[in-house]
A and B are shown apart, each in its own frame.
Chain A
Amino acid sequence: MSSPFRNSAIALVALLALVAGCDRESRNSRGQPLGETVPAGASPDTIYPGNSQPPPLTAQAAAYENNAYAISQGQQLFTQMNCVGCHSHGGGGMGPPLMDAKWRYGGRINQIAASIAEGRPNGMPAWRAKLTSEQIWQLAAYVRSLSGQVPKDAVSARADTLSNTPPQTEQTPEPVLPAGSAQQ
């Protein structure tokens, strides 16, 4: 092969590789047509009697977990659905903080989604009838990002609010303590 031809070939291959990498995520704006639901009663960390294991995350939950589109939609919904009013921008208020390590009812995405859908006894409203499952998963994905669980290339790099916290891309991840640890 002559040198210019080889260089062009290398460049072409590199370009194709780059382009292939561009298809990182697809946006599914319609959601699943039927019955994409938030699983009911995703149990908080607890004893699984008889040597059984906690259930693994479903593929659906994993799809939302680190998805940039889902997180950015969740960020919008977090303000629009008044989550901000109780949880502020993660620091809490009427509701507990979402950016720290403590999770009353579990910090995995399916547990967060279940909390949003079903409500919780100390005043967390139940949103199952008001939001679509897709929206609830998106909110759960965003809530996870508040404590730094999400890789930096998926979180939003800016917020449109008075925040004064470092942007999420610079947040250090908090450990996710088991549900119910060190509660009042």
Chain B
Amino acid sequence: MKPSRFTAIVVAGIAISSCGGIQTALGGQAVQSSDFVTLFTVFMVVCTIMYFVIVGATIWAVLRRRRGSEACTVETGKHKVSTSASRTALVAWTTLIAVGLSALAVASFFTDRSLAAAARNPKLAITVTANQWWWDVQYTPDEPSHIIRTANELHLPVGVPAEITLKSNDVIHSFWIPNLAGKQDVIPGRVTDAQILPRHIGQYRGQCAEFCGAEHTNMALDVTVESIADFKKWAAAQLQPAAAPTTPLAAAGFNYVTTRQCSVCHNITGTPANGQLGPDLTHLASRKTIAAGTLPLTTGNLYGWVADPQSQKPGSNMPTMQIAPQDLHAIVAYLETLK
């Protein structure tokens, strides 16, 4: 295989593998991110052209010089006379720069306009509060009794502009769903906001983009963009209080969860567990991952997480408690009913 073809395939492969996937800034699955991808492409093209022009010109200048034109030094007394060729070159060069920069400025301007237009009439209000090291997500319509509270996941209806208000309970985090929008810092004591107008249905992954402590790398967000009908179904299910336990083991788990350590931090709507410190567990079993994307939601992972969270996420705020084996069975049985 010829070297140039080999290079081309390698480059293309890298490009494709990074363009696909659930967590890529080149995904462009929402208006905000696709605007970014467009702008990024314009910049890449313009700057690449300029790069090659400059590098080419530099090489040409160096090589041409070496072909033995006379040196312009103090000793020889010669000095460069500006020829018409060099004047033309100068004008052309300046024009090229001007055109290039103008292209970038115009592209940037239109991108800003597009972003502003997409943010203009939000139809969905969401409040995301960043904690160490999980995301508290609340859907906040006007009617307070319709507030939905979930954790570490975001469901967005496609084509509906969402306004996400961002707060932090402790340190600076950064809210980033690469496929959908850019980063937005979340600063304690301030309120910032992000807008997302998703365009493609799919499953994406967001994560914290500002170092926030020991478990910063394990602070991810599962983002589902779905049809409006599916979203409404999901929202209606989320508004329901927690399902009552039906089996004796789940009932024992319910007892443990609502009277022992769990209720101190966690909220399960419709039960006496109303702790406000940790993620809302009312519909835990409907999620795809636990511990802010650290582990997929499976029975085994639930067992492991509840038994010893510090081994999975050392330093996180959920302590490792001494839970007796039978209690552990009951707790996991109950948690799995929380669909």
Contacts and interface: CB of A to CB of B under 8 A. Distances in A.
A30 B322 contact: no
B322 A35 contact: yes
B264 A29 contact: no
Interface string A40-74: 00000000000000000000000000000000000
Contact of B319 (A27, A33, A134): A134
Interface stretch (A9-17, A106-114, A124-132): A124-132
Interface string B242-266: 0000000000000000011100110
A132 B310 CA distance: 13
Nearest to A73: B317
A135 B308 CA distance: 15
Contact of B264 (A27, A33, A131, A134): A131
Contacts of B264: 81, 130-131
A33 B260 CA distance: 19
A132 B262 CA distance: 11
A162 interface: no
B277 A129 contact: no
Contacts of A130: 260-261, 264
Interface of B is mostly: loop
Interface size grouping (class) on chain B: 10 to 19
B270 interface: no
Given A29-B315, A30-B320, A31-B320, A131 B310 contact: no
A35 B320 CA distance: 12
Contacts of B322: 34-35, 132
A132 B265 CA distance: 13
Interface in B112-150: none
A31 B308 CA distance: 11
Interface residues of A, number: 15
Contacts of B259: 129
Given A30-B310, A30-B311, A80-B277, A132 B260 contact: no
A134 B315 CA distance: 13
Nearest to B310: A30
A93 to B, nearest CB: 21
B314 A30 contact: yes
A37 B314 CA distance: 21
B92 interface: no
Contacts of A29: 310, 314-315
B105 interface: no
B321 interface: yes
Contact of B261 (A33, A80, A132, A134): A132
Residue from B260, B311, B322 whose CB has the most chain A CB atoms within 10 Å? B322
Contacts of B321: 132
Nearest to B316: A29
Contacts of B314: 29-30
Nearest to A36: B322
A9 B320 CA distance: 46
B277 A132 contact: no
Residue from B308, B310, B314, B319 whose CB has the most chain A CB atoms within 10 Å? B319
21 contacts: A27-B315, A29-B315, A30-B308, A30-B310, A30-B311, A30-B314, A31-B310, A31-B319, A33-B320, A34-B322, A35-B322, A80-B265, A80-B277, A81-B264, A129-B259, A131-B261, A131-B264, A132-B261, A132-B321, A134-B319, A135-B319
Given A29-B310, A130-B260, 7 more contacts: A30-B310, A30-B311, A31-B310, A31-B320, A34-B322, A80-B265, A131-B264
